[in-house]
Amino acid sequence: MFLDRRPDAGPGLHALIIGVGHHPFLTGDHLRHAGPTDAGTAPASALRFLDCLLARGVGNWARPVATVDVLLSPVRELVSPDGRSVAVEEPTRRNVQAAFDQWLERCESHPDNIAVLYFSGLGVQTGQQVLLTSDFAASEDDPFRGAFAFDTSRDGLLTRLPSTQCLFVDAGWLRLGDEVIRRRGRGAEPLIAPGPFAERKCRHDLTLRAPQLPDTGAPLSPFTSALIKALEGVAATEDPETGDWVLSTASISQAMTVLVQRELGKAGTGRAVPGAEIFEPAVLRRLLVHPQVEGELRWKVTTSGRVRCVPRLRTGAAQEFWGSIEGPQCFSGPAGHYVAKVDSFPGVGELAERPLLALPPAAEILVGSA
């Protein structure tokens, strides 16, 4: 295991991170596949997610990170936060199943644990989402023996503890012919299946999957890059009771589509990030600092002058712009409550003053005329 900091008592966060970057058997006429055999961003994306999980400068997780297990291909050694060299296993189907079973046992050790499962690699749509392990297609007769059925696995997990579960699937789509899937796509078994009369035990479910996205050529996938930004605070909301900025299952789910489209820029597809409906939001992280907001400020005033956005609390310096305020002004600063003021040129006087609330991930603020 990469990291084991289980407390003597009490709940913790338990993570399983899988990055499948190489499929050595993804060749041959039996699959009729002439595309790439690697998911090039998968290992780097998995390691970046690991870094985000262990980072301490952003905020405190609702439960301390207790255990983290990592499977990567190509295989490599990692250095744990404790300074140990850890040999990471290859994510074959057998190894993934063993790691999953052990992870689930740790997750169920306390009902208030947080379970985190992250997968990056390739997938196939066969009526449900099937995720490929590194030994996919090792058997020509049954290539999907090196894969697992994610949707059924998720249904099985929801019938088990803990009550808070976060599942992130960053899978590119492998294009296989319909005939190949029909004849050979029956071998993908779930990691866990729900019992016939099993009841749901998970109350706080955050399941997010990458939509079909273009290859941007970046070292990280757009989905994971957006997810990291969300977890580092860009998806935060203000807790009305404490004034703290928090990340919840609901706020992350709501922010992800905007953040992924930001990563894509002009290559944006407009596709939403598929996610399960959030019935009971749960706080996952409390931030140590206010999140940053970038957006546009528009005034219904057609004159020239100065715009000042003055924070009501001491969260940062005032945002100040000179020139015509008929067009949009770029706003960049800590999230929070501001007073936006429009002054004419010096010596003439104030034209308007309005309160505004700048919320992440992006603020598009339209303030009425005086």
Q: What does the alpha-carbon distance between residue 351 and residue 356 come to, in Å, rounded to a whole number? A: 16
User: Helices (H) and strands (E) in the chain — how many of each?
Assistant: 6, 21
Give the pLDDT band (50/70/90) at residue 38: low
Which residues make Cβ contacts (< 8 Å) with residue 136, sequence separation at least 6? Answer: 23, 25, 26, 122, 143, 144, 146, 147
Q: What does the alpha-carbon distance between residue 89 and residue 70 come to, in Å, rounded to a whole number? A: 8
- 104-118 pLDDT, tens digit each: 999 999 999 999 999
Which residues make Cβ contacts (< 8 Å) with residue 226, sequence separation at least 6? Answer: 256, 259, 260, 262, 263, 273
**What are the DSSP calls for 243-273, one per residue?**
--EEEEHHHHHHHHHHHHHHHHGGG---PPP
Say what the pLDDT of residue 28 is.
Answer: 58
Q: Check whether 35 has a pLDDT greater than 70.
A: no
292-367 CATH, one of 1.10.287, 3.40.50, 3.30.1380, 2.60.40: 2.60.40
Mean pLDDT (whole number) for 305-321:
61
- 3-24 pLDDT, tens digit each: 999 877 799 999 999 999 988 8
Where do the structural domains in the chain lie, given as residue ranges?
3-287, 292-367
Single pTM value for the model: 0.88
CA trace torsion 200, 53, 123, 20 (10° rounding): -130
**Residue 79 region by backbone torsions, left for phi larger than 0, else alpha for psi between -120 and 50, else beta:** beta
Beta bridge partners of 125: 129
Q: Which helix (H) or strand (E) holds 154?
A: helix 150-158
- Specify the higher pLDDT residue, 208 or 6: 208
350-358 and 319-324 beta bridge pairing? unpaired
Q: Give residue 368's identity as a one-letter amino acid code.
A: G
- 134-147 pLDDT, tens digit each: 999 888 888 889 99
- 211-233 pLDDT, tens digit each: 888 777 788 999 999 999 999 99
Mean pLDDT (whole number) for 164-191:
79
- In the chain, pLDDT over 70 holds for what percent of residues? 80
Say what the pLDDT of residue 350 is.
Answer: 54
SS3 285: strand
Q: What does the alpha-carbon distance between residue 370 and residue 354 come to, in Å, rounded to a whole number? A: 9
Polymer length of the chain: 370
Q: Check whether 370 has a pLDDT greater than 50.
A: no
3-287 CATH, one of 3.40.50.1460, 3.40.50.300, 3.40.50.620, 3.40.50.1110: 3.40.50.1460
Q: What are phi and psi of 355, to 5 degrees?
A: -75, 150
Say what the pLDDT of residue 318 is.
Answer: 59
- Specify the higher pLDDT residue, 222 or 364: 222
**What are the DSSP calls for 44-94, one per residue?**
HHHHHHHHHHH--SSEEESS-EEEEEEEEES--EEE-TTS-EEEPBP--HH
Q: Which of 188, 144, 192 is nearest to 165 (CA)?
A: 192
Beta bridge partners of 20: 73
Q: What does the alpha-carbon distance between residue 199 and residue 287 come to, in Å, rounded to a whole number? A: 34
- 66-100 pLDDT, tens digit each: 999 999 998 889 998 888 899 999 999 999 999 99
